[in-house]
Amino acid sequence: MKIKDYYQQTKPVVSFEFFPPKKEAAIDTIYQTLEELKGIKPDFISVTYGAAGSRADNKTLELASMIKKEYGIEPLHHLSCIANTNEEIQQLLADIKAGGVENVLALRGDLPADSETCSSDFLYAKDLIASIKENTDFSVGAACYPEGHIDQLAGVENIEHLKAKEDAGADFFISQLFFENDVFYRLMEDARNGQVSAPISAGVMPILSRGQVEKMIFMCGTSLPSELIKIIHKYEHSIEDLRKAGLEYSLKQIEDLLDHGVDGVHVYAMNRPVVAKEAMSLLRGS
């Protein structure tokens, strides 16, 4: 089933994000998480793309195919384009199709360290989206940024880029994580005022450690509300207490998002069964 169809049939659409473990043994964590979700399936699970987009080393397709074949959950295969030629992208799409996956999240990806010498047929995610739509029948999702992309200073550019992705063929959007729901609600208002009509899922990530938060701030430009800063300060020396408080905070976010009737909720589950299970229980009311 195409993910775009879920947004026409279900509200809210419930989804999770997993990533292929770097160590083979760690794949058991994902199996455990999926087993716990058997009785209360999310609508889809997105799988992040490996470094440099290597066909040989990347485990994204292997995991995405397993999610569909073994668990009957629709997968969303992340695909970044900044360091790939058109020929390489078309081969990757053929591999994804052969693996039984019908949905792709089209991303620009992070610029390589040697970006000055980086050659690519795709400069932006909108270019990749247009190519996928022109050459395949994939359902295509795209990213959106409640606080703007880390490379953007002007807020108006954020909505212009969102509209460009939709015009290129994006069927739905998944937001980058945020910690203050009003930020997402402003994005939704600006998007609709900017004639962006595609459904948008709200991205929520539980805080698991202080280091995780610091990384998100500098990599994504995500801001922290005072309540969350106080939680991190209070529990920074107790890992388990911080994880518990961080999960409780994200569940409060989800509850408020549901009350506001959002199109979907996308949980960055960090491959942790407890995160997926607790969020799923709230989202499905079980």
Report the C-alpha gap between 83 and 89 in whole angstroms. 10
User: In the chain, what are the domain boundaries?
Assistant: 3-284
Identify the active-site residue in 17, 74, 102, 278.
17
For 127-168, the pLDDT digits (tens) are 999 999 999 999 999 999 998 776 654 456 789 999 999 999
- Asked if residue 239 has pLDDT above 80, the reply is yes
Contacts of 227 (CB under 8 A, 6+ apart): 249
Asked if 12 contacts 265 with a C-beta cutoff of 8 angstroms, the reply is yes
Among candidate residues 285, 264, 131, the one with its CA nearest the CA of residue 204? 264
pLDDT at position 178: 94
Report the C-alpha gap between 250 and 165 in whole angstroms. 28
* Token reading at 181: 């729901």
**Cβ-based neighbour number of residue 209 at 10 Å:** 14
Active-site residue, 17 included: yes
pLDDT at position 51: 46
Assigned CATH for 3-284: 3.20.20.220
Q: Would you list the DSSP string of 86-102? A: HHHHHHHHHHHHHTT--
Q: What is the pTM of this model?
A: 0.92
- Asked if residue 112 has pLDDT above 90, the reply is no
Task: Give the residue-averaged pLDDT of 234-247.
Answer: 94
Q: Give me the residue label for tokens 């995405």.
A: 64
With residue 275 as reference, give the H or E element that holds it.
helix 273-284
